[in-house]
Chains A and B, each alone.
Chain A
Amino acid sequence: MKGFYIRWGALILIGLWIVAVGIQRYNRDVRPLTPEQVLKDHSAGSVRVLGMVEAGTLRKDTTTSQMLFSLMENGQRIPVVYQGKDTDDLRELKTLVVVGRWDNASQRFLAEDIDLIPNYGFIIAAYLVMIPLALFLFMMERRVRLLYNEIKQSKLYEPEVGEFE
């Protein structure tokens, strides 16, 4: 049984390590910021910002072919200049993620890409099914080992007390 618990312990440690790396990567590269966070902390690198395209603000600059709009979330808004390829996802009142960086000189967010709402909660919920699956497997394997031990120990046929009285 010792080897069995060591093996499962190692598997749990590997699983926890994968989860920790995943959370770290999510916080660093994937988690979207709010417009408020962008206005507070002008990070130099590329960031993802989640918000809704404010009604009446979406327009196309005919000279530069850039799309200009205001991205809003919880009452805070940032002006966005989108210079990526044309997409059907860019519509007024649509909640989406813009990928780009804040430009201090023009006081605008320069977006290079647009993504749909990530819905990571649903993805995590779906993959959490792996946990009961692993638990079910653990319980079965443990039971098999206990049964083998029990059978080895009960070498002789021993009817239960009072069974044939």
Chain B
Amino acid sequence: MIRWIRRFEGWFGTAGAVCITIGLYFGLVASPPDSYQGEVVRIMYVHVPFASTSMTAYAVLTVASLWYLWKRDSLVDNLAHATAGIGVFFTSGALFTGSVWGKPTWNTWWTWDARLVSFTILLLILIGYLMLRTFIEDKEREARYAAILAIVGAVDLPIVHFSVEWWRTLHQPLSISQRGIAIAGVMLYPLIFMSVGFYLLFTYMVGVRTQMLYLKQLLEAKKGRLLGEVRL
């Protein structure tokens, strides 16, 4: 798997950079301002990809945690650990850009809205996951407890997604749903390019971080710190 990551990660990184560059051009230069929000609508092209990628990150973390509990593959645990680290970054990015967007449009940096609160809980679960991993000495127990926490925390994922449907929120409802696409084509294309670019970038970053965690373990094993595990 590490070989596969090393072989293909560069393609994901390059494709992600190309998509983001195209998306930035269309989003910041070619697309028109919104009739109600004006120029600030351009924050959408960075906020929505951050938010959707962070939710995807948590979904990947959940699947990897289930997979780990089933197969007990340490590399899959590395993947889950890496996804959580990257997920914290993307979730924080989504909350920050959302806050910056909220000030000129809602006239507030923060409000106790169902979407915002559930999303912040998602960030806290991810931070808790990373903290848990630093507290436990035994690597196998650390991975097992972290996987259980990630799976339990996954209950927040549908709450985040449907919060705008279930409750009356200040946050706008889903723009792309079964009801159709409530966004103009000229604004949809940059959003698609940026979203695809962020997904590819996320895949690349997870690949790099998984390698990093794997190599750290390998080096520790080489240095004899995990002598029992490598059975020398």
Q: Is B89 an interface residue (CB 8 A)?
A: yes
Q: Select from chain B the residue with minimum beta-carbon distance to A123.
A: B42
Which residues from A are CB-within-8-Å of B224?
157-160, 163
- Tell whether, in the assembled complex, residue A122 and residue B40 are in contact, meaning their CB atoms are under 8 Å apart: yes
Docked pose: A114 CA to B50 CA in angstroms = 32
Docked pose: A151 CA to B211 CA in angstroms = 13
Docked pose: A117 CA to B215 CA in angstroms = 51
Q: Select from chain B the residue with minimum beta-carbon distance to A159.
A: B224
- Tell whether, in the assembled complex, residue A133 and residue B39 are in contact, meaning their CB atoms are under 8 Å apart: no
Q: Is B212 an interface residue (CB 8 A)?
A: yes
Q: Select from chain B the residue with minimum beta-carbon distance to A11.
A: B17
The A-contacting residues of B in range 7-52, CB under 8 angstroms, are 28-29, 33, 37-40, 42-43, 46-47, 50
Q: Which of A116, A143, A154 is within 8 Å of B222, CB to CB? A: A154
Which residues from B are CB-within-8-Å of A118?
38-39
Q: Is B232 an interface residue (CB 8 A)?
A: yes
- Tell whether, in the assembled complex, residue A133 and residue B89 are in contact, meaning their CB atoms are under 8 Å apart: yes
Q: Is B100 an interface residue (CB 8 A)?
A: yes
Which residues from B are CB-within-8-Å of A143?
212
Docked pose: A130 CA to B197 CA in angstroms = 13
- Tell whether, in the assembled complex, residue B93 and residue A133 are in contact, meaning their CB atoms are under 8 Å apart: yes
- A152 CB to nearest B CB, Å: 11
Q: Which of A119, A132, A148 is within 8 Å of B40, CB to CB? A: A119
Number of chain B interface residues as a range? 35 or more
- Tell whether, in the assembled complex, residue B208 and residue A116 are in contact, meaning their CB atoms are under 8 Å apart: no
Question: Interface segment, A36-44, A56-64, A101-109, A134-142?
Answer: A134-142
Which residues from A are CB-within-8-Å of B37?
116
Q: Select from chain B the residue with minimum beta-carbon distance to A117.
A: B38
CB < 8 Å A-B pair total: 87
- Tell whether, in the assembled complex, residue A147 and residue B46 are in contact, meaning their CB atoms are under 8 Å apart: no
Q: Which of B40, B209, B222 is within 8 Å of A140, CB to CB? A: B209
- Tell whether, in the assembled complex, residue A140 and residue B43 are in contact, meaning their CB atoms are under 8 Å apart: no
Q: Select from chain B the residue with minimum beta-carbon distance to A154.
A: B222
Docked pose: A143 CA to B213 CA in angstroms = 10
- B97 CB to nearest A CB, Å: 4
Q: Which of A120, A148, A157, A158 is within 8 Å of B39, CB to CB? A: A120
Docked pose: A2 CA to B97 CA in angstroms = 35
Q: Select from chain A the residue with minimum beta-carbon distance to B198.
A: A133
Which residues from A are CB-within-8-Å of B96?
126, 129
Q: Is B130 an interface residue (CB 8 A)?
A: no
Which residues from B are CB-within-8-Å of A159?
223-224, 227
Which residues from A are CB-within-8-Å of B46?
126-127, 129-130
- Tell whether, in the assembled complex, residue B222 and residue A157 are in contact, meaning their CB atoms are under 8 Å apart: yes
Q: Is A115 an interface residue (CB 8 A)?
A: yes
- Tell whether, in the assembled complex, residue A129 and residue B93 are in contact, meaning their CB atoms are under 8 Å apart: yes
Docked pose: A154 CA to B220 CA in angstroms = 11
- Tell whether, in the assembled complex, residue A148 and residue B89 are in contact, meaning their CB atoms are under 8 Å apart: no
Whether A140 touches B39, Cβ cut-off 8 Å, given contacts A148-B215, A157-B224, A159-B224, is: no
Report 26 cross-chain contacts, Cβ distance below 8 Å, ordered by A residue: A115-B33, A116-B37, A116-B38, A118-B38, A125-B100, A126-B43, A126-B96, A126-B100, A127-B28, A127-B46, A129-B46, A129-B50, A129-B93, A129-B97, A130-B46, A136-B89, A136-B205, A140-B212, A143-B212, A147-B215, A151-B215, A151-B218, A154-B222, A157-B224, A157-B232, A160-B223
6 closest cross-chain pairs (CB), A and B = A116-B38, A147-B215, A159-B224, A126-B43, A118-B39, A126-B97
Q: Given contacts A115-B38, A122-B104, list 13 more A-B pairs with CB under 8 A.
A: A115-B33, A115-B39, A116-B37, A116-B39, A119-B39, A119-B104, A123-B42, A140-B212, A144-B208, A144-B211, A147-B212, A147-B216, A159-B227
